[in-house]
Structure 1
Amino acid sequence: MERRAVLGVAAGAVAAGATVAQGSAHAVERERGGGAGRRPVARFDVISDIQGDLADLRVALRDMARTNPRGSGLAVAGDITPRGYDAEYAQVRAELARQHVRPGDLAWAIGNHEFYVPKWRDPDTLAEETWPNGTTEDSLFRSFYRFAGRGSVYAEKLFDGIPVLSLGTEKYLHYHDPKLWDEVWLSEAQFAWLEDRLRYWSRRRRPVMVVSHHPLPDTVSGSRNALYQHDYVQAERLLGILGRYRDVFFFCGHTHWDLTLSDWYVRRVVPGTANPEGFSVVNTGAVQTGYRDDGKGGEVAVEGAFNQGLQVEVYRDRVRLRARDFARARWLKEITVPLSTAR
């Protein structure tokens, strides 16, 4: 069971033969400024882990409207709801409508909290000992599909011509193996689709934004912690696909780890992919509650107001990533990543 599930409702490393380069020669990090030059092709926002915190979602959306009033879209990297009830999805939809966010400008990824209805006998009664309390796996996916307005977990959106690919689990694995809970499982169809879309956009010299809730192992903040090392059942296969493309940007949430940490952005190099420069992996922070390393192999909550996300500017020759503190309305840091081929 994911370690913060009940609480949330009630209230450069080296992997096995793979290197992670932070602040490499191909990425320049600084606190403010930069990104001067031609106007961006697209400018969009990325958030994750709302988990029912509608007040902080409202703050984030209002801040985005100020800093990016003509934005290309908003990508949400999972944990849209605290549990996955239809009423919780409806609350998020209503808040977006109040802030005048159009459904067509949204790219959704599914998170583990979208599968937590089975832990509850009813919305007011936690009953983990009688999991799944009559809830079917299929009903959880149907709720997400109705909310997202599509018929699959994986999907493609275009933000002013820039492809945004959403990935996600196609099984809630505790239904299939009692030893597993929130791990991500991708079908052959999803892998084939991902390979096809990456090839397609690579031929057209477009950077590709990939949004998935869970972090890839040994990449950004928190992903080297034992809590997050095994989130993907097929991690090596997924890395092998993504690792072929220098201009892939992989955005992930789930950990809630603070964007002020130095490894909020890394480049992940995957051996055998003929891409020695790797691809970009970016932590999205979280709307609801922040965490950081506790120095003991676990994590501890960040004190004070916490509400973070990203703004992404795509130029013809580079991508600028900016970490934002929505609660304090200030930029935390940024990095500019050159693209392999200018469009």
Structure 2
Amino acid sequence: MSDPIPMVELWRGDLRESVHLGHAVAYHATGGVIESWGDPDAVIYPRSSCKMLQALPMVEAGVPLSSERMALACASHEGASVHVNAVRGWLAELGLSDDDLVCGRERPRDRYLQEALIREGSEPEQVHNQCSGKHVGFLQFHRHLRAKGAYVDPDGSVQKAVRTAFEELTGMNSPGYGIDGCAAPNFATTVTGLARAMAAFAAAEEGQSTRRNAMYSLRQSMMAHPFLVAGQGKTASRFMEAAPGRVAVKPGAEGVYVAMLPERRIGIALKIVDGAGRAADTAMAALLTRFGIFPRDAWAVRVVRDAPILNRAGVQVGVTRTSPGFV
């Protein structure tokens, strides 16, 4: 077991004010681990970074889905009107309603829709939850399987299928699960296991097998609809918009982030041990630079990798940057 390494630092003036430690692995689909930082065998919850794995059994089973709906199934969206309307339309087409979801009500993270709800005196619904697309997918898969009970039951048909796919692609038995913020089980794995799964997605091509067709479709859908996967100003959308067709990325809560690089058949997984999303953004920007997706001066990475810290008057007083010795 190795200790986590410093990955991201915040400097204010001449003082390093904060430092974030983490683990990361870059994995080639046929060559195995290319590089690792910290402890590649650290056991983590992938959180929302693994939504493409959670959607895989549904797509593999032949559930008919548009590219937009596959992207929504992988999304942690901001709850903007385009997200909410798409989820509502999907529910309506299935003859279901907001009450059929169990992800919980969440105020939309999109500022405009949030303010609109306040003006209207309306309460947020479950469709506003950032995981609502994944949950409608679960509902449709639950119906496809003619399953009984709750679709988030770890011992139910939907989540058993998810666990099987998760373990097969990570290459290891999951040591257990925790319940995510949206009420679905989240299966644990190592950082290497998560990177291995992302490499499999990165290398998937059409015509190889039913599973690889499904993996290819999910990856391509994420890259085709980056705004649906996250939203305005979010690093995941920004990275994919800035490198169209070259990378699919997905963050998760508590400082987890994954990437799929199809051209190089590489998967990347990282975990910031203190759970800071700001550090995960910076670390992933550095890794995407290292593996040739962006030049260091590309705007998409510069705004988080060498991000200025401004005071209330708009004057730069510090900087967020990667730690020496990381990448």
TM-score (norm 1): 0.27
**In proportion to residue count, which structure has more strand?**
1
